[in-house]
Structure formats: structure tokens, C-alpha cells
Structure 1
Amino acid sequence: MNDNAPLMYMWVGPSPTVWLLQTETFEVFFNSSKHITKSNFYDFFNPWFRNGLLISTGDKWRTRRRLITPTFHFKILSDFLHEFNDQSEVMVRKLDQMAGTGEEFDVFPFITLCALDIICGTAMGKSLNAQDNADSDYVRAIHRMTDLIQVRQKSPWYWSDLIFKSFGPGREFEETLRILHDFTRSVIEERSEQFQKQLESQSQDGFDIVEDPDKPVAIGGRKRLAFLDMLLYASVGETKLTNADIQEEVDVLMFAGHDTTASAATWAIFLIGSHPEVQRKVHEEMDRVMSDPDQKPTIDDLREMKYLECCIKESLRLYPSVPVFARTLSEDCVIGGHDVPKGVTAAISAHNVHRNPKHWPDAERFDPERFFPENSVGRHPYAYIPFSAGLRNCVGQKFALAEEKVLLSSIFRRFRVETTQQRDDLMPMGDVVLRPKNGVRVKLHRRE
């Protein structure tokens, strides 16, 4: 294949697909207001997410996007920061039991359970305690569901609902789905009932339901705001949301808000731990920004973690959490001088884009300094797309970056990470989310 070819045609099962290979061809994908429908590979998420933000399209997607975007405003992240810090402290206490023993272990499950506790607390205001109870029905179900979806995506013979349910893991899928939906539904119904009582009480007292429309208060006597609280407030505005509507978005966030973040943080731990000079600079920054190892980072502290942010970005360049983006073209168009018909799937591999030598010299080398401001000048805007780009970019990218900073700073403030694998040993699995097949095995040493 010509390295400068603008695109490549291929069939993925019964679906004609065109892979966009050069950043110059991405305009139709990222900037078009017409080609916003996700490819049919996302249809396998429909039973779980129904028609939430991740897979909805058209007017519904536009309405939900306008509604949800303000809930991830950086000011609101200060409310979520408490949950980031509290759950990170739980994780660090568990990691401390492994430190100094010389024992090698897989750090990925620790990060994953912490991220799941964080998203459950911030999305629903519900304590899941996954880090202390990894064998709960919901924890097992959310991990198993992604595996089942990936099995189906990779197996064209399971694309038929009849075959999947009759001869495949369809029954397990339905039971897993029931556990997930029952849990989020019960939390939403409980919070909705509390919300209605709060509305009635405020109405009787003659107060508006929201004193500050940009920052509603937590519902049901809770001290901290949750994503669910903000959706319930939005449900009494111009955009009416039912409990079922709210559940669509909460279920999306429970998946997208923990799996991708956990993977990104784990890859960063491996890469920083594999490069002693980089780790030394991270430690120096931690010591400068947060001299007290028991101090919990504030929003201002996170802003000062500039080198750590570069490490996270470089990790996402090499191991983007979502390795492929795909859309269904809504009309005939011309891409890179080639006619591409309506209905074709257009796909972009972030994994390949991030290794394009035109934009990334010595692309396989881990070098956080690529993201220093002076080294980023003139870089093509689509050369780096870990959160997608354009109209359908990731609405929670600021949330994710802040969470990863808290997770990683909690670890590197206290420990020196020694990796025991080479990059070739990790075998990234390019499924819905890019995970290390063999985990990330490390040894931890307490810092003096």
C-alpha cells in the first residue's frame, strides 16, 4: 500500500468500509454537520445504551449534546474532585500493601476498580465500593458486558439477533444487561423521588428550584453534586427528560467514564515507569506542586502538573483509549479525490494517525516533550485525536484528563514504579477500548 494514499477500501464483514489514512482527508469526518451517525458497529451497544449520547444521531444527539456539555464545565469539576481524591486514596492504601515487598503484580485491576468507583460516585452519587467488593454483581456485570459486546463485534455469525440469542452467549448477555439496567434504574428512581420532594418543598416555600442555574445543589441531602443531579434539574427545563432518558445517559457515562480512563492511566504508568528520566521529572514536579505527600490536589494543583499532563498526552498518542472511530456517510461525497457513496462506513485509526512520521518523527519513542507548547506549534489539528475531534469529540475529555492527573499524581507522589515488562510483552488488544492483554506488571517502591 502506498504510504501517501489518502484512503483504503475494504470490506468488514458485509459492510463496505473506507479507511481514511491522511489527516488532509479527515475534514469530511470531523467537521461535517451531516456525517454524524456512528457506524453500525455501535449498534451492538444499543441494548445497553439504547439511544444515549454515544450512539444517538440527528436532532436527538444535538439536543442531548447541548444539554450535557455544560455538566462537564471545568468549574463543575471542582465538585467531582472530592470523589477523585477520596477514591484515589483508597487505591493508594491498597497499593501501599504491595510496595516494598519486591512482589511483582498487575496494576491494571487496581486502576480499573478505582476508576469504576469514581464514575459511580460522580455519575450517580452512589457508593459502589468496587475497590473493596470487586465481586459484586454490578462490578462483574459491567466488565463482562464489554467482553460480550466485543465478542459479538468480532463474530459476523453473531450479528444476527436470532443466532446470537439461540446459539451464542445471548442468554448471558440478557442476564448481564438486566443487572446493569436494574442497578442504574433503581438509583435514578430513588434520586428522582428525592428530587420531586425537593421541588415540592421549595415550591411551597416560594423559592425557585435552582438558585444558581449554572450550579445546582446536590439532591437528597447529599453534600456533593452528581451528574445525575444535573440531569434531573435539566429535566424540568425546556428539554423534558424522563427517567428512561436519564438512564440512557447515565449508562453511557458508566461505561465511557471508567473503561477508557482506566486504560489511559495504566498505559501512562507503564510508560513513565519504563523511562527513569521521565519518572524522575514527574517526581520533581510532584514534589514542587505538592510538597506534602498526604495533601489532596486542588484544581489549581492540577493546572500546575504540566509535565504530567504531557506524559498523559504522549501515552494517549501511543495507546489511544479508543483506537478507531467510524461513521456512516449520510450522502455521496468526495474524499481525497475519490468518490465515496452514501451508506459506506468511513473509519479512522487513531493508533495509525498517531504514528504518522509526517507529524511524529521517531513515532514509537515515548517523548512527553512533544507536547511542550513550543514543540506543538504548527502541528496539524487532526494529527492527535485521542478524544476524536470536531462536532462529536469526547464531551468528557476535561473530566478524563483531571481524573487521570489525580490517579497518577496519587501514585507517583508516593511510589517509584519499576516495570518488569517490555512494550512487546503487553500485546495491546484493539477492541472497543485499547487494553493491555497481559496486564501491566510492576513493582512499587515507597519514596523516602
Structure 2
Amino acid sequence: MALFTFILFFSICILGLGLYLKKLSKEYYLLAACKRMKTVDGSKVSDKVYIVPGRTIFGNNFDILHSNPEDIFNFCRDIYQRTKDKSYVLLYYTGCIYSITSPEAVQEVFQSQTLITKGLIYDFVRPFLGNGLLVSRGQHWHNRRKLLTPAFHFNILQSFNEVFKSESLKLVHLLSAKKDQNVNLNEIISAFTLNSVCETALGVSLDDISGSSEYRKTIHELELVMVDRLCNPFMYFNWIFYLFGDYKGFYKNLKVAHDFSSKIIQKKREEFQKSQAATTTAHENDVEIGKRKRYAMLDTLFQAESQGVIDHQGICDEVNTFMFEGYDTTATCLIFLLLNLAVHPDIQDACYREVKNCDLPALSIFEFNQLEYLECVIKETLRLYPSVPFIQRHCIEDTELNGVILSAGSQINIHIYDIMRDERHFPNPSKFDPDRFLPENSLNRHPFAFVPFSAGARNCIGQRFAMLEIKALLVGILQNFRLLPVTTLEDIRLENGLVLRTKENVIVRMAKRVN
């Protein structure tokens, strides 16, 4: 069987090589693009977009073969430097990939009611996240979005606010015990955000669940395998990944991640069932049941399950989605944010002046929203270092976009990292300047120049959740510590994964403030 598979695989490779050997010139790429794309006004495709020449005779299929996450990040930035605000096209065997790097070009995508299907690369995440909100499509996605949106209503965020403040104070206490030592932000911030999302959206304290550090490590291992698959077009086929990829290691780590989330679901289910029984008993006896427990997203899912709207697997998919999305993306923002405050002491001092007299345990959501300069600093961090630097859409039918017609099956890559560094909308774009987001400086900015949470129908459902969590931690940190740089911006190398990462751990010194 193994010999037959090898011969079949080798024969396919030889056949593909023979076909591509006939198409060696740059004109081939133009011809292929014209076959897969058309312009609305009849002009040349190459006048509308930049067609990226492949590094091999196989188009762009093997341009990032054997690349690591840092290489992928640099590959995208190198093309951007060549094209600037002009969209570009990559040619893959799966179809053409239309890549957007400017606010003007992305506007039609985000405003579209049909371009909401996630791209092919999200299939690599499906073994991990199932058919959860991030990767689901069509009516399934519409139903889940409608189901989950009320779980992040303002009234529920108010109860989450108490958890965010409590977790912030716990972290401050932990850091105070370190006595001005250097702190590895990648470790301590990730632990904080995982605790926060589990206690709020899932309603379970990790004090009662073992395995959180192993879970965080496992997520990173899963991500590396997914990146490897992205780089090798042969690995897009599940059967080839099964035979020749790190299939066993991937599914071993997948089991660890799913077992951890299952423990959380089981614990919350037991609490939910007790709560339902207590409520029924209280109603039967016509008595008050006392103070209502804090509501969590998992309560919404259990209620929907009892009504037949979702099954157990659906609950698992949404929990895995929100655990990953809710902790890793927020952790990324906080790491870059604290690093930037450390290397920009004047900005750090301005933030401290704004929060120094705040009573953190008593702060309401309204009062957090009044911290105007702090919000500008958060937004500038997200502009320069978006937690999700890249998203993808899939054309399920022939689609007119920015003067070209993409054939069904084409992919649309949206490079959020580049969109928010467009110098026409953000002069001197590499400079960390929170004043860009003061109201008077944001007045006439393009509506899609700042899109760290995506935009349109598939924008991030938890963006207010994330902003509130970030502010709560920042107030606690700034009131108690002065951040001093150990790692500098010049030290870090950025990586493209499921989220934006640094190749190195980010280290800062937290010196105790003396008021």
C-alpha cells in the first residue's frame, strides 16, 4: 500500500512538472491571471493589479515552501513594499489570490453582504475549532452569530467588568512579590488573559481546573503545524498530510487542547444543572432564590441546547473558539502595549497621570470609557501590531471587486497589518503616536483605515469585551509599576501565525511605584 501511494504521488508530481515546464516566462503569469480575472472596463488586468512573479516554474505555489512564521511575515511585507497601495495577485493551483493592502480596496469587501465566507486556509483550523463562529459559513454562521451576540450585551459586560478588575488586582499582587524583577510578558500575560476569558465568557475559574499551562503550550504547537501546512501546497490535501505530515503529533496536541476545554464544559454544565434545579425548586415553592449568579456565554449555549438549537459538539466548537480567540489575541495586544509603554516613557507618564487617581475596584464601564488617552494608546498599539494581521475571504461566485471580476473559487487576502500602516492615512506610519486617535485627529480618516477587529458583518463579536479587559489590566499595572525596557523594539522579530507574535520573548522590568 505504501509503495503504491508513493508511486501515485510521484506520478502526479511528474505530470505537474511536465505541464509547468511549458510555461516558464513572466508572460505566463499575466496570461493565467487574465484567465482567472477580468476587468470591468476591458482594460488589462496588469493595469489594475500587480501580478507577483513566482519564485519557481510552479507559479506562487512553492514561494514559501519550508518557510517559518518569520519568513512568511517578511514575504508579505516584501511584496507590500513593491506594490504599496496597489492590490496584488498570487497564482495558486487552488485559484488566484487577490491580496488587499489599502483601506480603499478593502472597503467593498467589508461592506459586502456576500463576501462573508472565510477562505480555504481556515480549513487548517477546523480540526481545532470545529464549526465554531470563527470558521463557520453560510446560514450556520448566521444562526450562531445571532445566538451568541446577546452574550456580549452591555449588561453582561458589566458583570464581566468585576472579573477583569479582580484578575488585574491578582496579577498586580503577583508582580509585587517579584520585587522589581524582569518579567516575561509572553508567559504572565497569557496566563492572565486565559484566566479572564474562562471566568467571564465561560464562567469557570481555572483555580478549579488543572492543565492551563499545558494548554497554552499546546496551542503554540498546533499553530506551528498549521503554518507548515500553509507553506506546502501538497499538505492542503488531508490525505497527504495524514501520510507525510506531522499528523500524529498534531492530533496528540489536539487531544490535549480538547480535553482541557471539555473539563471546563463539564464543570460549567454541572453548575448549570444545579442552578436550573435550584431555580425550579424555588419557583415551585414560590420563594426568592437569592442573588443571581454571574451570567456567562456558556449559559447561553446550555439554554440553546435545551431548546434543540445547538448540540454538544456545537458547544465544544464555540468554547474552543472563544478560549483561543479570547485569550491569545488579547494577550498579543497587551504584550505589545506594555512593551511600547516601556520604551516610550513620556507616553507611559501621560497614561499614569490619567489613571493614578482612579479607584480600580470601583471603576464602572462608563468610567473606563472616559479614559480617553489610554484608549488612544491601545488603538495605536493595535494599529501597529494588530493581533490578527491577516484574514481571508472565499468567492463562492464570480465577484466584481475594485474594477476586476474574480472567478468563483478565488481567494481574497486582507492584510490588516499593511492597511493600518498606509502612510496616506497615517503619516510616518511606523511611529508610535497615540495622538493620531484623539477625536480632532480622527475626524476625516477613512472609515476602513483602522480595522484591528475586522469590519462589516464578520467583525469581532468580542471587541468591547477585549477593550474592557485591556483597560482593567493597564490601570492596575500603571498605578503600581513603572515599566522599564529590557527587550527593545529593535530586538523583536515578528511572526505570522494564527495571531501576530514575536520570535523572542518580550521582557520588561516592573519597578514598584512610590507615590
**Deviation larger for 398-407 or 415-424:** 415-424
Per-residue deviation, residues 15-61 of structure 1 (Å, max 9, x unmatched) = 52011233222233111111111111010111111111100111111
CA shift at 1:247, angstroms? 1.4
Q: Note the 1:210-359 alignment, pairs <5 A.
A: 223-236=293-306, 240-290=309-359, 295=361, 297-359=363-425
Q: Which of residues 8, 24, 42 is equivalent to 2:104?
A: 24
Query: How far 1:407 sits from its partner (Å)?
Result: 1.6
Change in Cα spacing, 1:144 to 1:203, as seen in structure 2 (3 Å) is same
- Map 1:107-146 to 2 at 5 A: 107-129=185-207, 136-146=213-223
CA change 1:42–1:365 in 2 (3 A) is same
Structure 1 pair 322–172 and aligned structure 2 pair: CA distance change class (3 A): same
- Deviation of 1:304 after TM superposition, in Å, equals 2.3
Tell me which structure has the larger Cα radius of gyration: 2
Please, which moves more after superposition, 394-403 or 170-179? 170-179
Unaligned 5+ runs, structure 1 = 212-218
CA, structure 1 residues 425+15, in 2 after alignment: closer, same or farther (shift >3 Å)? Answer: farther
SS state at 1:423 partner: coil
1:169-188 equivalence runs, <5 A: 169-188=246-265
State the SS of the aligned residue for 2:122: helix
Q: Which residue of 1 aligns with 2:10?
A: none
C-alpha change, 1:447 and 1:187, in structure 2 (3 Å) is closer
Tell whether 2:170 aligns with 1:90.
yes
SS of residue paired to 1:422 = coil
Provide closer, same or farther for how the CA distance between residues 116 and 143 of structure 1 changes in structure 2, counting only shifts above 3 A.
farther
Task: Say which SS state the counterpart of residue 11 (structure 1) adopts.
Answer: strand
The answer on whether the counterparts of 1:415 and 1:446 sit within 8 Å (CA) in structure 2 is yes
| Contact residue 317 and residue 354 of structure 1 kept, 8 A | yes
Take 1:418 and 1:225, find their aligned partners in 2: how far apart are those partners? 38
Over 3 Å counting, the alpha-carbon distance change for 1:190 and 1:415 in structure 2 is: closer
1:32-71 map, 5 Å? 32-71=112-151
Does the 8 Å contact 1:263/1:321 carry over to 2?
yes
Indicate the larger mover: 135-144 or 109-118. Answer: 135-144
**What amino acid is aligned across from residue 305 of structure 2 in structure 1?**
S
Letter matched to residue 430 of structure 1: N
In terms of mean alpha carbon deviation, does 377-386 or 194-203 score higher? 194-203
Kept in 1: contact 2:108–2:402 (CA 8 A): no
- C-alpha deviation, 1:191, in angstroms: 3.4
**Is the 1:53–1:61 Cα contact (8 Å) retained in structure 2?**
yes
For structure 2, the residue ranges without an aligned partner over 5 or more in a row are 1-80
Q: Which range is displaced more, 302-311 or 85-94?
A: 85-94
Shift in alpha-carbon separation, 1:133–1:277, aligned structure 2, 3 A? farther
Name the residue aligned to 2:16: none
Distance (Å, rounded) in 2 between the aligned partners of 1:85 and 1:307: 19
How far the C-alpha of 1:87 sits from its partner, in A, is: 2.2
d(CA) in 2 for partners of 1:194 and 1:97? 34
* Greater CA drift, 170-179 or 59-68: 170-179
In the alignment, which residue of structure 1 is the partner of 2:501? Answer: 435
Quick one: which amino acid aligns to residue 358 of structure 2?
A: V
Task: Output the CA distance in 2 between the equivalents of 1:59 and 1:245.
Answer: 14
Contact 1:6 1:336 in 2 (8 A): no
Describe how 1:377-416 pairs up with structure 2 within 5 A.
Answer: 377-416=443-482
Shift in alpha-carbon separation, 1:136–1:264, aligned structure 2, 3 A: closer
Secondary structure, counterpart of 2:357 in structure 1: helix
CA 1:279/1:46 → structure 2, altered by over 3 Å: closer, same or farther? Answer: same
Secondary structure at 2:446's aligned position in 1? coil
Cα distance change of structure 1 residues 128 and 62 upon mapping to structure 2, 3 Å threshold: same
Distance, in Å, in 2 between the alignment partners of 1:437 and 1:4 is 26
Structure with the larger helix share: 2
- Shift, 1:327, TM fit: 0.3
Q: Relative to structure 1, is the Cα distance of residues 2 and 124 closer, same or farther in structure 2, using a 3 angstrom cutoff? A: closer
Q: Offset of 1:235 from its aligned partner?
A: 3.3
How far residue 379 of structure 1 moved from its aligned partner, in angstroms, is: 0.8
Cα offsets for 1:159-207 (capped at 9, x unmatched): 3323333333211211222222233234334433553454455456657
Displacement of 1:154 in angstroms is 3.1
TM-score by length of 1: 0.88
Post-superposition CA distance 1:75-101 (Å, at most 9, x none): 21121123222222232223223343x
Q: Tell me if structure 2 keeps the 8 A contact 1:28–1:35.
A: no
Residues 105, 198 of structure 1: CA spacing in aligned structure 2 closer, same or farther, 3 A cutoff? closer
The residue aligned with 1:80 is 160
Q: For residues 165 and 414 of structure 1, do their structure 2 counterparts lie closer, same or farther at Cα, with a shift above 3 Å needed? A: same
Shift of 1:8: 0.8
| Secondary structure in structure 2 of the residue aligned to 1:358 | coil
Q: Distance in 2 between matches of 1:177 and 1:60?
A: 24
Aligned to 2:510: 444
Query: C-alpha offsets along residues 379-420 of structure 1, whole Å, 9 cap, x if unaligned?
Result: 111101100000000000000001111122211111110113
SS of structure 1 residue aligned to 2:498: coil
Are the aligned partners of 2:480 and 2:512 in contact in 1 as well (CA < 8 Å)?
A: yes
The equivalent position to 1:372 in structure 2, one of 417, 438, 441, is 438
Matched with 1:215 is: none
Q: Which residue of 2 aligns with 1:216?
A: none
* Aligned-pair Cα RMSD in Å: 2.8
2:486 paired with 1:417: no
> Cα distance, 1:128 vs. partner?
2.0
